[in-house]
Structure 1
Amino acid sequence: MSTPLAIDTTVRLRSGYELPLLGLGVYLNNDAKPACLAALRAGYRHIDSARMYGNEAQVGEAVRESGVPRSQIYITSKIQNDEHGYEKTLAAVDDSLQKLGSEYVDYMLIHSAMSDTPTRLATWRALIDAKKAGKVRSVGVSNYGVKHLEEIRKAGLELPDINQIELQPLNQQKPIVDYCKQHGVFIEAYAPLMRAQWDVPAILEVAKKHNKSPAQVLVRWSLQRGFAPLPKSSDPARVVSNAAVYDFELSAEDVAAIDALDRGKEGTITWNPVDAD
């Protein structure tokens, strides 16, 4: 990748570990290895998987075959909903390590808040203990609303390093983002490419202005807004193209035009269970 303009390529989390801001999402990719290899060869250093995706083993194979040292690659996985609870979570972490063929996972997240408060907190305590045991470097959550983050804070437990949520121009999750910024929880943006629903005049005009694809504009917008976008593609060529975002910069007017597209929850295009009980 060429030298970035106006933005960093990594951020240091509260855990002290780094997070590469551009990651490859492998959701619904039953043959993730080619995309992962293409990503790592193109300069990506972050792969976002989950136990629910069923492709941790393929991610691990790609990491080993890439020629990039494991210490330079950052892997995310997530505890799925039916694995909530202290003992189940610890067992899930061990199973992920086996599937990945790694001694540690860089980031382990709770995939969603879709259980009750005591179970969520037990799950969170298990991840903290897995971190203390050296099996996980940083711990976080996904699809957590303010209510769920407040549960953790009020229980006197350390807050997550990361909250991974749907975040794209039509649904910018401002209340959650504001809370996370206030409390030092870093935001990862899944579905940053709007699942290709980018036939929106403001986005198309900015793309034309910069002679870039809508996907590249959306990734760049997310980076300039201070998020970590996780564009997903199973096509190696698109994986490489999505990362070609460091040779142009959106102007303040470009960013404002895309910011103005926010429709709140009405703009949701994915699962997005941030209001779970």
Structure 2
Amino acid sequence: MTDYANPSVSVTGGSMPLLGFGTWQIPDGEAPAAVGEALAAGYRHIDTATGYSNQRGVGKALAESGLARDDVFVTTKLPPDNADRVRETIEESLDQLGLDHLDLWLVHWPPNGEARPDVWEQVVQAQADGLTRAVGVSNYSLYQIDELVTATGTAPAVNQIKWSPVEYDKTIADGLSERGVVLEGYSPFKASNLQDPTLLDIATAHDADSAQVIVAWHVAHGFVVIPKSSNPERIRSNAAGARIELSADEIAAIDALAR
């Protein structure tokens, strides 16, 4: 059952908030203000990546927030092009973020479309060495995750994938759950029609908007969601969505929007 006061899921080394703040396409110079606004709004999970080129800005916001390190869950990612310099990449990320460890480090995409267990082994080694508490992948298929587990014996804690009500796929959700892998969704609004009558009706019932309903749907399912915005009002509004409790019928109606 979801704890709506502090929705989270257990991962290696701690608890991962179901609501995260995404920083894709937020320039480094704008990141301190945007991430600072998110932290002030109550977000305690920040998602960045080497490929976003904004880790220094994210780190500045973390340093200026006054929050204790253990109060914020920080994720960054290994670019597939850096598959030949795994250790150097995580050390650079930690330096830019101003941290001594990550909470989660993800392989951003399968390198050259392949699972690459050899790369995964190095990521797992970084975890063993204390550079990150948990490790995972992003944009991997169930088959590719199975390849990693078969080759190394270690499953990713998380698979971050493009996810929204219209992209909902019970086979994928159940497959990850059966493997003990947390589903984390990015771009929750991009593919969705925010004017969809189903979303609007549910939003009206909760005195909310469609974007908030989409956030609430993720949380109700136990999916991690990382909405992105640089707009302070929208940052706060998205956060409020995580506190909306949907009924079973409302969740089923949103599930039915899947294409």
TM-score interval, smaller chain? over 0.9
Unaligned runs of 5+ in 1: 264-277
Q: Which residue in 2 is equivalent to 1:11? A: 9
Q: Which residue in 2 is equivalent to 1:123? A: 119
When the two structures are superposed, what TM-score results if normalisation uses the length of structure 1? 0.87
CA deviation string 1:110-168 (max 9, x = no partner):
00114264x72121111111111111110000011111101112113210011111110
How has the CA–CA distance of structure 1 residues 143 and 173 changed in structure 2, closer, same or farther, with 3 Å as cutoff? farther
Q: Which residue in 2 is equivalent to 1:266? A: none
Identity over the aligned pairs, expressed in percent? 38
Q: Which residue in 1 is equivalent to 2:51? A: 52
The 5 A counterparts of 1:81-96 are 81-85=80-84, 88-96=85-93
Q: What is the CA-CA distance between 1:91 and the residue it aligns to?
A: 0.9
- Determine the C-alpha separation between the residues in 2 that align with 1:5 and 1:91: 38
1:146–1:175 contact (8 Å) kept in structure 2: no
The 5 A counterparts of 1:188-207 are 188-194=184-190, 197-207=193-203
> Is 1:104 matched with 2:101?
yes
> Is 1:227 matched with 2:233?
no
Describe the SS at the equivalent of 2:125. helix
1:10–1:18 contact (8 Å) kept in structure 2: yes
Unaligned runs of 5+ in 2: none
- Amino acid paired to 1:123: V
2:166–2:192 contact (8 Å) kept in structure 1: no
When the two structures are superposed, what TM-score results if normalisation uses the length of structure 2? 0.93
Q: Which residue in 2 is equivalent to 1:34? A: 33
Equivalent of residue 155 in structure 1, options 151, 154, 158: 151
Q: What is the CA-CA distance between 1:39 and the residue it aligns to?
A: 1.1
The higher relative CO (CA closer than 8 Å, separation ≥ 6) is in 1
Moved more, 143-152 or 193-202: 193-202
- Amino acid paired to 2:17: P
- Determine the C-alpha separation between the residues in 1 that align with 2:101 and 2:183: 22
- Determine the C-alpha separation between the residues in 1 that align with 2:16 and 2:127: 16
2:123–2:135 contact (8 Å) kept in structure 1: yes
Q: Which runs of 4+ in 1 moved over 4 A?
A: 4-8
Moved more, 173-182 or 54-63: 173-182
- Determine the C-alpha separation between the residues in 2 that align with 1:39 and 1:94: 25
Describe the SS at the equivalent of 2:134. strand
Q: CA RMSD in A?
A: 1.7
Q: What is the CA-CA distance between 1:34 and the residue it aligns to?
A: 1.2
Count residues with an aligned counterpart.
256
How has the CA–CA distance of structure 1 residues 22 and 6 changed in structure 2, closer, same or farther, with 3 Å as cutoff? closer
Moved more, 189-198 or 53-62: 189-198
Describe the SS at the equivalent of 1:139. strand
Q: Which residue in 1 is equivalent to 2:213? A: 217
How has the CA–CA distance of structure 1 residues 137 and 58 changed in structure 2, closer, same or farther, with 3 Å as cutoff? same
Moved more, 119-128 or 135-144: 119-128
Q: What is the CA-CA distance between 1:8 and the residue it aligns to?
A: 5.0
Q: Which residue in 2 is equivalent to 1:248? A: 244
Moved more, 150-159 or 241-250: 241-250
Q: What is the CA-CA distance between 1:246 and the residue it aligns to?
A: 5.1
CA deviation string 1:235-274 (max 9, x = no partner):
12211111113553211221111100111xxxxxxxxxxx
